[in-house]
Amino acid sequence: MRRVREVIVVEGRYDKNALRQVVDATVVETRGFGVFNDRERLALLRRLAEERGLILLTDSDGAGFVIRNFLKGAIPKDRLKQAYIPDVYGKERRKSAPGREGKLGVEGMGPAVLLQALERAGATFEEEAGPAAERRGVTKADFYQLGLTGAPNSGAKREALLRRLRLPQRMSTNALLEAVNVLYTREEFFALAAETAGDG
Protein backbone atom coordinates (compact mmCIF):
# COMPACT_ATOMS: atom_id res chain seq x y z
CA MET A 1 0.00 0.00 0.00
CA ARG A 2 1.41 3.39 -1.00
CA ARG A 3 1.93 6.05 1.64
CA VAL A 4 0.71 9.60 0.95
CA ARG A 5 2.38 12.47 2.78
CA GLU A 6 -0.48 14.96 2.51
CA VAL A 7 -3.60 14.73 4.65
CA ILE A 8 -6.58 13.71 2.50
CA VAL A 9 -9.86 15.51 3.20
CA VAL A 10 -13.13 13.71 2.37
CA GLU A 11 -16.79 14.31 3.16
CA GLY A 12 -17.67 11.35 5.39
CA ARG A 13 -16.68 8.10 7.05
CA TYR A 14 -17.58 5.82 4.14
CA ASP A 15 -15.28 7.87 1.89
CA LYS A 16 -12.59 7.58 4.55
CA ASN A 17 -13.03 3.80 4.72
CA ALA A 18 -12.75 3.50 0.92
CA LEU A 19 -9.49 5.47 0.85
CA ARG A 20 -8.00 3.47 3.72
CA GLN A 21 -8.29 0.38 1.48
CA VAL A 22 -6.15 2.10 -1.17
CA VAL A 23 -3.46 4.23 0.51
CA ASP A 24 -1.67 4.63 3.83
CA ALA A 25 -2.61 8.20 4.70
CA THR A 26 -4.16 10.43 7.32
CA VAL A 27 -7.75 10.96 6.18
CA VAL A 28 -9.97 13.61 7.78
CA GLU A 29 -13.71 14.05 7.27
CA THR A 30 -15.50 17.37 6.79
CA ARG A 31 -18.67 15.70 8.10
CA GLY A 32 -20.40 16.99 4.99
CA PHE A 33 -21.63 20.55 5.38
CA GLY A 34 -20.75 20.32 9.10
CA VAL A 35 -17.39 21.94 8.38
CA PHE A 36 -19.16 25.24 7.54
CA ASN A 37 -20.09 25.88 11.17
CA ASP A 38 -17.35 23.93 12.97
CA ARG A 39 -14.59 26.44 13.76
CA GLU A 40 -12.53 23.83 15.59
CA ARG A 41 -12.54 21.44 12.62
CA LEU A 42 -11.64 24.26 10.22
CA ALA A 43 -8.79 25.33 12.53
CA LEU A 44 -7.56 21.72 12.58
CA LEU A 45 -7.66 21.53 8.78
CA ARG A 46 -5.62 24.75 8.58
CA ARG A 47 -3.02 23.33 10.99
CA LEU A 48 -2.81 20.06 9.06
CA ALA A 49 -2.48 22.02 5.80
CA GLU A 50 0.39 24.05 7.24
CA GLU A 51 2.16 20.94 8.52
CA ARG A 52 1.66 18.47 5.65
CA GLY A 53 -0.55 20.00 2.98
CA LEU A 54 -4.07 18.83 2.13
CA ILE A 55 -5.56 16.93 -0.78
CA LEU A 56 -9.25 17.67 -1.18
CA LEU A 57 -11.27 14.72 -2.51
CA THR A 58 -15.02 15.35 -2.49
CA ASP A 59 -17.87 13.75 -4.40
CA SER A 60 -18.46 15.00 -7.96
CA ASP A 61 -22.00 16.19 -7.25
CA GLY A 62 -23.15 19.72 -6.46
CA ALA A 63 -22.82 19.25 -2.68
CA GLY A 64 -19.22 18.04 -3.11
CA PHE A 65 -18.36 21.18 -5.07
CA VAL A 66 -19.98 23.45 -2.46
CA ILE A 67 -17.72 21.90 0.20
CA ARG A 68 -14.71 22.05 -2.14
CA ASN A 69 -15.26 25.74 -2.91
CA PHE A 70 -15.72 26.59 0.75
CA LEU A 71 -12.40 24.95 1.66
CA LYS A 72 -10.63 26.53 -1.34
CA GLY A 73 -11.49 29.88 0.23
CA ALA A 74 -10.48 28.83 3.76
CA ILE A 75 -7.13 27.06 3.17
CA PRO A 76 -4.04 28.77 1.68
CA LYS A 77 -3.88 27.90 -2.02
CA ASP A 78 -0.27 26.70 -1.85
CA ARG A 79 -1.18 24.14 0.85
CA LEU A 80 -4.15 22.59 -0.99
CA LYS A 81 -4.24 20.10 -3.87
CA GLN A 82 -7.42 19.18 -5.72
CA ALA A 83 -8.27 15.53 -6.48
CA TYR A 84 -11.31 14.77 -8.64
CA ILE A 85 -13.27 11.60 -9.25
CA PRO A 86 -15.09 11.10 -12.56
CA ASP A 87 -18.86 11.34 -12.99
CA VAL A 88 -20.03 7.75 -12.75
CA TYR A 89 -23.75 7.12 -12.48
CA GLY A 90 -25.01 4.48 -10.12
CA LYS A 91 -25.75 3.70 -6.48
CA GLU A 92 -23.46 2.67 -3.64
CA ARG A 93 -24.16 -0.83 -2.27
CA ARG A 94 -25.13 0.37 1.20
CA LYS A 95 -27.77 2.80 -0.13
CA SER A 96 -31.32 1.89 -1.08
CA ALA A 97 -31.47 4.61 -3.76
CA PRO A 98 -28.96 6.69 -5.72
CA GLY A 99 -28.10 10.22 -4.59
CA ARG A 100 -30.01 13.25 -5.87
CA GLU A 101 -27.82 13.57 -8.98
CA GLY A 102 -27.48 9.80 -9.44
CA LYS A 103 -23.67 9.87 -9.25
CA LEU A 104 -21.40 7.59 -7.27
CA GLY A 105 -19.43 9.35 -4.56
CA VAL A 106 -15.87 8.73 -3.39
CA GLU A 107 -17.00 5.62 -1.49
CA GLY A 108 -18.36 4.09 -4.71
CA MET A 109 -15.11 4.43 -6.69
CA GLY A 110 -12.79 1.50 -7.26
CA PRO A 111 -9.24 1.47 -5.84
CA ALA A 112 -7.61 2.19 -9.23
CA VAL A 113 -9.84 5.25 -9.78
CA LEU A 114 -9.05 6.66 -6.31
CA LEU A 115 -5.32 6.08 -6.76
CA GLN A 116 -5.38 7.74 -10.16
CA ALA A 117 -7.27 10.75 -8.73
CA LEU A 118 -4.55 11.18 -6.08
CA GLU A 119 -1.76 10.77 -8.63
CA ARG A 120 -3.31 13.38 -10.92
CA ALA A 121 -3.68 15.78 -7.99
CA GLY A 122 0.09 15.57 -7.42
CA ALA A 123 0.02 13.55 -4.20
CA THR A 124 3.44 13.02 -2.64
CA PHE A 125 3.99 9.27 -2.40
CA GLU A 126 6.61 8.33 0.18
CA GLU A 127 8.73 5.22 0.02
CA GLU A 128 8.24 2.72 2.84
CA ALA A 129 11.95 2.77 3.63
CA GLY A 130 12.26 6.58 3.63
CA PRO A 131 12.82 8.83 6.66
CA ALA A 132 9.09 9.23 7.32
CA ALA A 133 8.70 5.46 7.66
CA GLU A 134 11.55 5.33 10.18
CA ARG A 135 10.08 8.03 12.39
CA ARG A 136 8.44 6.34 15.33
CA GLY A 137 5.05 7.83 16.01
CA VAL A 138 2.78 7.86 19.04
CA THR A 139 0.78 4.64 19.44
CA LYS A 140 -2.38 3.48 21.20
CA ALA A 141 -0.09 1.72 23.69
CA ASP A 142 1.41 5.14 24.51
CA PHE A 143 -2.09 6.53 25.10
CA TYR A 144 -2.77 3.63 27.48
CA GLN A 145 0.53 4.18 29.30
CA LEU A 146 -0.32 7.88 29.74
CA GLY A 147 -3.80 7.06 31.03
CA LEU A 148 -5.49 8.59 27.98
CA THR A 149 -7.32 5.29 27.42
CA GLY A 150 -8.28 2.37 29.63
CA ALA A 151 -8.51 4.24 32.95
CA PRO A 152 -11.56 5.59 34.82
CA ASN A 153 -10.49 9.21 34.22
CA SER A 154 -9.20 8.74 30.65
CA GLY A 155 -11.98 10.87 29.14
CA ALA A 156 -11.11 13.84 31.36
CA LYS A 157 -7.40 13.45 30.58
CA ARG A 158 -8.10 13.38 26.82
CA GLU A 159 -10.30 16.50 27.12
CA ALA A 160 -7.52 18.35 28.95
CA LEU A 161 -5.00 17.26 26.31
CA LEU A 162 -7.30 18.32 23.47
CA ARG A 163 -7.60 21.78 25.06
CA ARG A 164 -3.81 21.99 25.49
CA LEU A 165 -3.22 20.99 21.86
CA ARG A 166 -6.01 23.31 20.60
CA LEU A 167 -7.80 20.41 18.90
CA PRO A 168 -11.58 19.87 18.52
CA GLN A 169 -13.10 18.63 21.77
CA ARG A 170 -15.27 16.05 19.98
CA MET A 171 -12.32 14.17 18.44
CA SER A 172 -12.37 10.41 18.90
CA THR A 173 -9.33 8.67 20.37
CA ASN A 174 -8.33 7.41 16.90
CA ALA A 175 -8.71 10.89 15.37
CA LEU A 176 -6.61 12.37 18.19
CA LEU A 177 -3.90 9.77 17.58
CA GLU A 178 -3.81 10.59 13.85
CA ALA A 179 -3.67 14.36 14.47
CA VAL A 180 -0.91 14.01 17.06
CA ASN A 181 1.21 11.99 14.63
CA VAL A 182 0.83 14.65 11.93
CA LEU A 183 1.38 17.70 14.13
CA TYR A 184 4.02 16.56 16.65
CA THR A 185 7.07 14.39 16.98
CA ARG A 186 6.90 11.65 19.60
CA GLU A 187 9.12 13.69 21.92
CA GLU A 188 7.04 16.86 21.52
CA PHE A 189 3.86 14.96 22.25
CA PHE A 190 5.21 13.33 25.43
CA ALA A 191 6.41 16.74 26.66
CA LEU A 192 2.99 18.28 26.05
CA ALA A 193 1.23 15.31 27.68
CA ALA A 194 3.48 15.69 30.76
CA GLU A 195 2.74 19.43 30.96
CA THR A 196 -0.99 18.72 30.69
CA ALA A 197 -0.78 16.13 33.49
CA GLY A 198 1.15 18.66 35.60
CA ASP A 199 -1.62 21.23 35.13
CA GLY A 200 -4.27 18.79 36.35
Q: Does 50 share its domain with 87?
A: yes
d(CA 160, CA 144): 16
Task: Supply the pTM of this predicted model.
Answer: 0.81
Do 86 and 152 belong to one domain?
Answer: no
Whether residue 153 is found in the same domain as residue 181: yes
∠ Cα 4 6 9 (to 5°): 105
State whether 141 and 122 are in the same domain: no
Residue-level pLDDT at 42: 94
* Same domain for 114 and 191: no
Q: Of 126, 150, 174, which one is at a domain's C-terminal end?
A: 126
Given 126, 143, 178, which residue is the final one in a domain?
A: 126
How many structural domains compose the chain? 2
Please indicate, yes or no, whether residues 122 and 147 belong to a single structural domain of this protein. no
Closest CA to 84 of 49, 123, 47: 123
Residues 99 and 7 in one domain: yes
Tell me: do 117 and 43 sit in the same domain: yes
Q: CATH number for the domain including 25?
A: 3.40.1360.10
Q: Which of 126, 150, 170 is the last residue of a domain?
A: 126
Return d(Cα 63, Cα 58) in angstroms, integer.
Answer: 9
**What is the chain's pLDDT, residue by residue, as a tens digit (200 residues)?**
899 999 999 999 999 999 999 999 999 999 999 999 999 999 999 999 999 999 999 999 999 999 999 999 999 999 999 999 999 999 888 888 888 899 999 999 999 999 999 999 999 998 754 444 455 789 999 999 999 999 999 999 999 999 999 888 888 898 899 899 889 999 999 999 998 887 65
Return all residues near 176 (Cβ < 8 A) that are at least 6 apart: 158, 161, 162, 167
Q: What end-to-end distance do the CA atoms of the chain give, in Å?
A: 41
The answer to whether residues 187 and 163 belong to one domain is yes
Same domain, 30 and 111: yes
Q: Give pairs for 150-155: CB < 8 Å, separation 24+.
A: none
Residues 6 or more apart whose CB falls under 8 angstroms from that of 44 comprise 28, 167, 168, 179
State whether 145 and 94 are in the same domain: no
Q: Are 179 and 171 in contact (CB under 8 A)?
A: yes
Which domain does 147 fall in, by range?
Answer: 135-199
Are residues 189 and 160 located together in one domain of the fold?
yes
